[in-house]
Amino acid sequence: MKTLKNLLLVPLAALSATLAFPGHAADTELQLVIKNHQFQPAEIKGPAAQKLRIQVHNQDSTPEEFESHSLKREKIIPGGAKATILVGPLKPGRYEFFGEFNPATAKGTLVIE
């Protein structure tokens, strides 16, 4: 009887942990490229009230810093490297970001709908 009880409790505990602490699998992932000192695409869209993972691939040979005052994020991405920026959940709106090292050309917007 004790073995049957243990067999039932282990899956139940795993299910409870999954429900209490959902993983990153439910996060929405957005792709962003830095090329020629510009963000491509210049506008990305994501859903409201969800955590977002912005995957940034810097295809330039020089570093760039992803910076956003409205998202409260900044991250240096070396040339040829990739980085993940976690944001959210966010309310609907427009959130501007820019490249700190090339602010005249590296500009973008995250639109939350």
- pLDDT tens string 19-60: 444 444 558 999 999 999 999 999 999 999 999 999 999 999
Whole-model pTM over 0.85: no
Our measurement of the distance from residue 74's CA atom to the centroid of its chain's CA atoms, rounded to an integer in Å, reads 12
- pLDDT tens string 79-109: 999 999 999 999 999 999 999 999 999 999 9
Cβ 34 vs Cβ 59: under 8 Å: yes
- Domain architecture of the chain: domains with CATH: 24-112 (2.60.40.420)
